[in-house]
Amino acid sequence: MASNYNDLFGVKAYSATILATPRNIAVAGAVTGTAAFDGSSNISITTTLADSGVTAGTYTKVVVNSKGIITSASALLAGDIPTLNQNTTGNAATATTADKVAQSLTINGTAYDGSTARAFTLVTGAEKGAANGVATLDSNSKIPASQLPALAISDTYVVATEAAMLALTAERGDTAIRTDVSKTFILQTEPASTLANWKEMLSPASPVQSVAGKTGVVTLVKADVGLGNVDNTADNAKNVLSATKLTTSRTIAISGGATGTATAFDGSSNISIAVTSLDATVLSGTASVNTTGNAGTATKLQTPRTINGVAFDGSANITIDAAMKFENLTANKTMVANTFYSVASSGLTLTVPATLNAGDTFIIQEVAGNTFSIDWGSRTVRGQTPDSPMVCPAYGRVEVTWTGSTFA
C-alpha cells in the first residue's frame, strides 16, 4: 500500500485518523460502484451490474461471453434441441407448452411449472472467481481480496504492548501505534498474530536537536530568546521615556491671573500661547503696560474730582478736616456746624444757625459756576457786619469758625 502522509513543519506523519483530502473508491468492470472514503470508518460499495445490451424479455436461448454475461437472446429453435432418449413418467412424454409439469419446481429462486416460457441466466462453475467471470463470496459472505482491485482501506490502533498488537483483529494495511516503544507498525500481510508480518514505519530523524539549549518537552520563556525586557503591553498603553510626538495631541491653555487662547500641542514643535486678558487682583510684581492718553506720564488728573467737598486734581496735596461732615446742597438749608457744603444748584440761601458754640466751623464751596447767598443774621464776620443775606459769586469759597463772639 502506498504511504499517505501530511508534511507538517518538515515532519511527515505516516498515519492519521482521517485523510486530509477524502477520496472516492470505485469498482469497475462487470460491476460498477463508488463510495466516498476519508478513513474515519469502514465503507461498503454498492455495485451495479452493467447492462449487457439485451432487451429485457423472456427467451428460450441465450448467448453469454466468457464472463458469463448474456450478450444476446432469442427463441429456441427445433434445431437447437438434440435428439434425446429418456424414460419419462406422468405426462412428460406428451406434454405441450400449455401443459404443466406434474410437480412445480423452483429454478434460480423462481417457481416454475412449465406452463409458460421463461429465460434463466446460468453461471457455470468455471466462471466463478475467474477472469471475465463472476465474483464469489467467502465463508464470511465477503468477496475475497484476491477478486477485488487494489484498495487502500486501513484502520489505526493504539496499543500499549507487543502482545496487544498481536491480538488485534487487523487486516493488511492496518497500523498499530505502540505506546510502550513510541513506534508505529503496519501489517504487511495477514495474520496479525505473527510478529514478522508487522513492519516498523520509519521516519527521518528530526534536524532540530534542541531549542534554546532545551530538549524534550520545551517550554520557552522570554529570557530564552533574548526578550527579557519585553512585555505584552499594547503600544497605545505603554509609557515611553521619549518620543518624537504625542500619539494624541493635547490643548494647552493658561488661566488664573492671565488667560490665553488654547493652543494644540503634539510635541513635534514649540508653541506660543497668546495672552488675552489679565486679572490685576491676582497679579504681583511689576509689569510693563501699554496705555493710551496721558496715563503713562500724567502729573494730575485729566478731570479734577471733589473729595469730601475739597477739589483735587492730583497736582498738589489737600487737607480734609477729619471732623467735617459733607453735604451736597440742592435746596435752601439752615447750616449745621462742622459741615462742608458743596453747592450743586444756583440761587440757594444758606442760613447760619441761631445757636453756636465756640469752634463751630462752616465751609461752603461752589465748583460748578453757581451763585449762592449766606444769611449771617446780626453776627460779624472777620470784624465786619456783612449784608444779610450776602451773595457769593460763582466758584466762591467761604471758610469760617465761630470764636464765641464773631466769625473768624
pTM: 0.25
- Output the tens digit of pLDDT for each of the chain's 408 residues: 444 444 544 545 556 788 889 999 998 877 898 999 998 999 999 998 877 778 888 888 888 888 778 888 888 887 788 776 666 666 655 655 555 666 777 776 677 777 777 776 777 888 888 888 899 999 999 998 888 877 667 899 999 999 999 999 999 999 999 999 999 999 999 999 999 999 999 877 777 778 888 888 888 888 888 887 777 777 667 766 667 888 888 999 888 878 888 899 988 899 999 888 888 777 677 766 666 666 667 788 888 887 766 778 888 888 765 567 888 888 999 999 999 988 988 889 999 999 999 999 999 988 778 888 999 988 999 888 888 788 888 778 899 999 999 999
Q: Please tell me the predicted confidence (pLDDT) of residue 1.
A: 41
Q: What cell numbers appear for 32 in the block?
A: 460498477
Q: Please tell me the predicted confidence (pLDDT) of residue 195.
A: 96
- Domain extents for the chain? 1-78+124-152, 154-205, 251-280, 305-401
Report domain 154-205's class: alpha beta
Are the C-beta atoms of 297 and 291 separated by less than 8 Å? no
Q: What is d(CA 77, CA 98) in angstroms, rounded to the nearest whole number? A: 18
Q: Please tell me the predicted confidence (pLDDT) of residue 180.
A: 96
Q: Please tell me the predicted confidence (pLDDT) of residue 260.
A: 87
Q: What is d(CA 225, CA 220) in angstroms, rounded to the nearest whole number? A: 8
Amino acid residing at 374: I
The candidate with the shortest Cα–Cα distance to 120, out of 70, 186, 190, is 70
Residue with cell 424414460: 87
The candidate with the shortest Cα–Cα distance to 253, out of 229, 273, 276, 225, is 273
Q: Please tell me the predicted confidence (pLDDT) of residue 351.
A: 94
Q: Is 40 helix (H, G, I), strand (E, B) or coil?
A: coil
**211 secondary structure, DSSP code:** B
Which long-range contacts does 39-44 make (Cβ < 8 Å, 24+ apart)? 39/153, 39/154, 42/153, 42/155, 43/153
CA torsion angle 198 201 202 204 (round to 10): 180
Q: Which residues share a beta bridge with 307?
A: 310
